[in-house]
Amino acid sequence: MWKIFWRRFKRNRLALFGAVIILTLAVTAIIAPLIAPFDPNQQDILHRLEPPSAKHFLGTDDLGRDLLSRIIYGTRVSLLVGFVAVGIAIMIGTLLGLFSGYFGGRLDALIMRLVDIMLCFPTFFLILMVIAFLEPNIWNVMVVIGLTGWPGLTRLVRGECLSVREREFIQAAKALGLSNLRIMLVHLLPNVMAPILVAATLGIGGAILTESALSFLGLGVQPPTASWGNILTAGKDYITMAWWLSLYPGLAILITVLAYNLLGEGLRDVLDPRMMAE
Amino acid sequence: MHEKVQNDGLILRVQNLKKYFPVERGIFRRVVDYVRAVDDISFDIRKGEIFALVGESGCGKTTTAKLVVRLLEPTDGKISFYGKDVSLMGRRELSQKIQIIFQDPFASLNPRLTIGTIVREAVRQRWEASGEKVKTKELRQEIEELLVQVGLPGDILDDYPHQFSGGQRQRIGIARALAMRPELIVADEPVSSLDISVQAQILNLLLDLRDSLGLSYLLIAHDLNVVRFLSDRVTVMYQGKIVEAGSVDAVYNSPQHFYTKRLLEAIPK
Amino acid sequence: MAMKKLLEVRNLSVDYYKGEKVIHALRDASISLEKNEVLGLVGESGCGKSTLALSILKLIPEREGRITSGEIIFRGENLLELPYERLLQIRGDRISIIFQDPFTSLNPVFRVANQVAESISIHEEENISSHQMEKVIIKLLEMVKMPRPEETMWSYPHQLSGGMQQRVMIAIALSCNPEILVADEPTTALDVTIQKEILGLLTELREKLGLSILLITHDFGIVAQICQKISVMYAGIIVEEAATSEIFQNPLHPYTQGLLQSLPSRNEPPGSKGHEKRRLKAISGQVPDPANLPSGCKFHPRCPIVIQECKAKEPELREIVGDHWARCIRADL
């Protein structure tokens, strides 16, 4: 089963490309202390706003900190935010989608109305408001992004459930007398994985963008911790003098989000319905 | 060979069973009419017999099958298992008494689960229902025995349904049903989707299991040749109602109702 | 008196490609259809009968499968070598095909009348006024015994029953008065009473229009009812061919014999129903994987009379008795 998936996955250039980049980023994040040439928080006012050189590959920021090191450590923030935020969104979205799609009726109607309401809010402004009330830090950011990201997935999962629920193997499971919860989690869930996986990868890209935007506005990760978004905050003030402060973090965000999107699109191609056909 | 006594009680009794599906119209979903899928039918099944329900598409036989296994709730009427009202039984209790085999071997097995998992779900359920503690090694053994009992090798536990042919999948479905040690099996068109040569194997298997396990069958089918070969008694359904019932010989040799006659005449050859 | 062969499929081989596997769906298959004859092509799933049907009109997409060798001779021309435009002319006009599930064969968003009209207007040379077209359509629907054709012709497919949908299919197929009708499991999706009507209709049309029919099915009952000749297929090749009565009374190939013996209709249990039910004489094993065929005779792993030579070389199709052919070295009267 997975062998077929793997074979097809390998053939899909885009997905492969995305996967490679993401793997590289993940490794970078993990071994950051080993590869960063400088301590990202070490200030060196004498050498502030220096352009890229042999010593500082990407230059220094307004406090003399090495940009390359900060960007490398920023990878950690981005990946963490991506996984945790999307992890939360997926758990909520999948559970609600499963309950909604499996039981139908009033519960379904209720959950769907909830989804409709959530989708009416402009997510970003909702997050801004919430963060404004709470303290801006990485954990709050992750949780809030997660709590606002589940509605779309709920709909997708519910849709899949509706079609799978009537299939005979689910009827057979019911006839065995298995509890509804067990049927949902053990029998139904593996068959609705496809949209979840796709939504997850695309969602991570979105989460990273949101976090970057929040950090850029000063409402996300707070300095001195390096986040690509808050590097850009400093960058915007010196954009004419120190272009590297804006370019490189921007590129990092671009490449990362692109990689996730490519992976997500590739997954969408590779996964069903063709997988079912085989 | 066991002695089968047919007169020792009715394993299933269906009385005045009705299932109406509401037809809704308009945005407020007003109920304007009902589809009378099953319209006041009654029949009995004796222990050890193979009882067939025949008819063409839309006659209500599949709905009846689902009602007996309680995948659907009746609108009215009573179904009793050895005299006990089925609606009073818990889902678990019922699943150990009556099980079902489905028509489509491709759709009746979960494509994302291994054969081992599919059958294990059933065996576990039976163990839990009878209060036994789950022991992995014995569990695996029982799964393998079940597979062998339906004519499959015991080492396929890690394989997936798509690796097997229609006939093999149908056998797996039968193994799953047998795992619950039921006394009555509802077989909903068990061989309709199978090739002729495989059909013969499965029919033989059903008969062998009937003899070795003392099972009774409620057979739902539209192929009159299969029904004639397999069943003891047959009931003909048309548009939700029973139009004729009796022993297979009686119905096939001297059909009374005009629809039965039409059905029999339509059999090629 | 030699009967004129209307359609001759000679040594047709078709391969399907699935991932890295090559599936030999048809291997050197040959059949012939005479004028005004109903030929039954019988076999189980995977034997290649549908592939053969689709190949006649080259309906297998290039991506999925390729005809690797053989010829299909129709009226002196090899259909496989015709230019595309010529093939389009023949499709629907000289040779038509109907499929198993009428519901998926008809376009759900067009009314019946439009679908029938489309077939006619493509193949007719002159322009037909819509008034005339209506009359033609009504006549066609009457021919296929469609109830109230003036009304039903304006229905959408989903508003019609399965039997009526199949009649529409037949009407479309016969709209240009073809010489050959290829029917791929035309009644499998229908109830048995409707099946009887459709088969009766096909027989009637054969007589009235001088049609030749290639009927593809797995149901022996159907072929017994309307076919004059039967070809039995197994693992991509013909294993037996004879007149219908011959096949039933005197099957020569072990596979045919096995199939007929496994039919429940031929196994009448003894008079009084005891608990001792006779078992069907089933063929052991299962149909071979087309990507992984056994050596020699493809049926040998399941054959009750297999001998050593069967495993070595696949037998030729030989004429055992007058016009009764079997592909078995042990087949004899």
User: Using one digit for the tens of pLDDT, what is the confidence trace for B170-199?
Assistant: 999 999 999 999 999 999 999 988 888 899
User: With contacts defined as CB-CB under 8 Å, which chain B residues touch A177?
Assistant: 90-96, 125, 129, 180
Nearest CA in chain C to B167: C286
Predicted confidence at residue C100, as pLDDT, reads 85
Of A169, A177, A191, which has the smallest distance from its Cβ to B95's Cβ?
A177
Please give, rounded to a whole number of angstroms, the shortest distance from the CA of A64 to a CA of chain B.
55
pLDDT averaged over chain B?
88
pTM: 0.84
Q: Could you tell me how many helices (H) and strands (E) chain B has, helices first?
A: 9, 10
User: Could you tell me if B108 lies within 8 Å of chain A, comparing CB atoms?
Assistant: yes
CB atoms A173 and B99 under 8 Å: no
Alpha-carbon gap: B86 to the closest alpha carbon of chain C (Å): 28
Q: Which residues of C touch B203 (CB under 8 A)?
A: 264, 280
* A276/chain B closest Cα distance in angstroms: 8
Query: Cβ B94–A177 below 8 Å, yes or no?
Result: yes
- B151 contacts in chain C (CB < 8 Å): none
Residues of C in contact with B207 (CB under 8 A): 277, 279
Three-class DSSP category at B17: strand
Residues of C in contact with B165 (CB under 8 A): 286-287
Model pLDDT for residues B82-110, shown as the tens digit of each residue: 888 888 888 888 999 999 999 988 889 99
Q: Which residues contact A69 (CB under 8 A, 6 or more apart)?
A: A36, A37, A38, A39, A40, A226
| Interface residues of chain A, partner chain B, Cβ below 8 Å | 1, 167-178, 186-187, 190-191, 193, 276, 278
Among A236-240, B7-11, B18-22, the least confident range = B7-11
Cis peptide before A195 (omega within 30 of 0): no
> Which residue is associated with the tokens 């500082």?
A56
B40 close to A (CB below 8 A): no
Report the alpha-carbon distance of residue C279 to residue A241 in Å, rounded. Answer: 92
Residue in C44, C225, C264 nearest the CB of B195: C44
Contact A178 B121 (CB under 8 A): yes
Q: How far is A4 from chain B (nearest CA, A)?
A: 12
- Our CA-based measurement puts residue B131 at a distance from the nearest CA of chain C, in whole angstroms, of 35
Interface contact B71-A168, CB threshold 8 A: no
| In the predicted structure, residue B256 carries a pLDDT above the cut 70 | yes
pLDDT, residue C271, reads: 45
* Spatial separation of the C-alpha atoms in residues A23 and A11, rounded to whole Å: 18
**Which residues of B fall below an 8 Å CB-CB distance to C?**
4, 48, 56-57, 165-168, 195-201, 203-204, 207-208, 211, 222-226, 228-230, 232, 247-249, 262-263, 265-269
Nearest to C273 among B208, B248, B262 (CB): B248
Output the pLDDT for position B8. Answer: 52
Q: Which residues in chain B have their CB less than 8 angstroms from residue A173's CB?
A: 110, 121
| Rounded Cα–Cα distance for residues B207 and C279 (Å) | 8
Indicate the SS3 state at residue B205: helix
Does the distance separating the beta carbons of B111 and A191 come in below 8 Å?
Answer: yes
CB contact under 8 A, C265 and B229: yes
Give me the domains of chain B, ranges plus CATH numbers: 1-97+184-198+215-269 (3.40.50.300), 110-181 (no CATH)
Residues of B in Cβ contact (< 8 Å) with C273:
232, 247-249
Give pLDDT, residue C3.
54
Buried b / exposed e along B112-141 (16+ C-beta atoms within 10 A) = bbbbbbbbbbbbbbbbebeeeeeeeeebee
Q: Which residue out of A4, A165, A167, A168 would a mutagenesis test of the B interface target, given it has the greatest number of B Cβ atoms within 10 Å?
A: A168
Bridge partners for C33 per DSSP: C7
- Which helix (H) or strand (E) segment is A27 a member of? helix A13-30
Q: Which amino acid is at A67?
A: L
User: What confidence score (pLDDT) does residue C1 get?
Assistant: 39
Nearest CA in chain C to B253: C271
Average pLDDT per 10 consecutive residues for chain A, totaling 278 residues: 66 81 88 83 82 82 84 88 92 93 89 91 85 83 88 91 89 89 90 86 89 86 84 83 85 90 82 54
* Chains sharing 3 or more CB pairs under 8 A with chain A: B
Q: Which residues contact C32 (CB under 8 A, 6 or more apart)?
A: C5, C7, C8, C9
C-alpha triplet C122, C127, C130: angle, nearest 5°: 95
User: What pLDDT does residue B173 have?
Assistant: 94
Q: Which phi and psi (to 5°) does residue B235 adopt?
A: -125, 135
Residue of chain C with shortest Cα separation from B210: C275
Complex confidence, ipTM: 0.83
Which residues in chain C land under pLDDT 50?
Answer: 1-2, 270-275
Contact C225 B268 (CB under 8 A): yes
Instruction: Please name the amino acid found at residue C326.
Output: A
Residues of C with CB under 8 A from a CB of B: 44-45, 162, 191-193, 195-196, 199, 218-222, 224-225, 258-259, 262-265, 267, 269, 271, 273, 275, 277, 279-283, 286-287
Q: Which positions in chain A touch B103 (Cβ < 8 Å)? A: 168
Q: Are A192 and A199 in contact (CB under 8 A)?
A: no
Q: What is the side-by-side order of every strand in the sheet holding B216-221? A: B98-101, B184-188, B216-221, B50-54, B233-238, B241-247
**d(C-alpha B215, C-alpha B208), whole Å:** 10
Are A175 and B110 inside 8 Å of each other by CB? no
Q: How far apart are CA A75 and CA A77, in angstroms?
A: 5
* Spatial separation of the C-alpha atoms in residues A221 and A227, rounded to whole Å: 6
How far is C196 from chain B, CA to nearest CA, in Å? Answer: 6
User: Which residues are CB-neighbours of B231 under 8 A, at least 6 positions away?
Assistant: B50, B51, B52, B219, B248
Amino acid at A156: L
Closest CB to B225: pick one of C199, C222, C264: C264
Q: For A174, which of B71, B104, B129 is closest by C-beta distance?
A: B71
Suggest the residue from C198, C265, C281 to mutate for an interface test with chain B (most B CBs closer than 10 A): C265
- Best B29, B103, B106, B112 residue to mutate vs chain A (most A CBs within 10 Å): B112
Residue C7 · residue C33 · CB < 8 Å: yes
Task: Kindly identify which residue of chain B lies nearest to residue A192, measuring between CA atoms.
Answer: B112
Is residue B265 over pLDDT 80?
yes
* Closest CA–CA distance from residue B239 to any residue of chain C (Å): 14
User: For residue B4, what pLDDT is reported?
Assistant: 40
Say if the Cβ atoms of A173 and B110 lie within 8 Å: yes
A230 neighbors A222 (Cβ within 8 angstroms) = yes
Angle separating helix axes B196-213 and B166-179, nearest 10 degrees: 20
User: Which residues of chain A does B91 touch, with a Cβ-Cβ cutoff of 8 Å?
Assistant: 177
Find chains touching chain B: ≥3 CB pairs under 8 Å. A, C
Cβ neighbours around C284 below 10 Å, total:
11
pLDDT band, very low/low/confident/very high, at B223 (cuts 50, 70, 90): confident
Contact: A276, B111; criterion CB under 8 Å: yes
Contact at 8 Å (CB) between B49 and C273? Answer: no
Distances (CA, A) of C301 to B171, C238, C330: 21, 18, 15
Residues from chain A that touch B96, judged by Cβ atoms under 8 A, are: 177
Q: C319 — phi, psi (to 5°)?
A: -85, 110
pLDDT at C237: 92
Our measurement of the distance from residue A161's CA atom to the centroid of its chain's CA atoms, rounded to an integer in Å, reads 24
Is the omega angle on the peptide bond into residue A273 within 30 degrees of 0, that is, cis?
yes
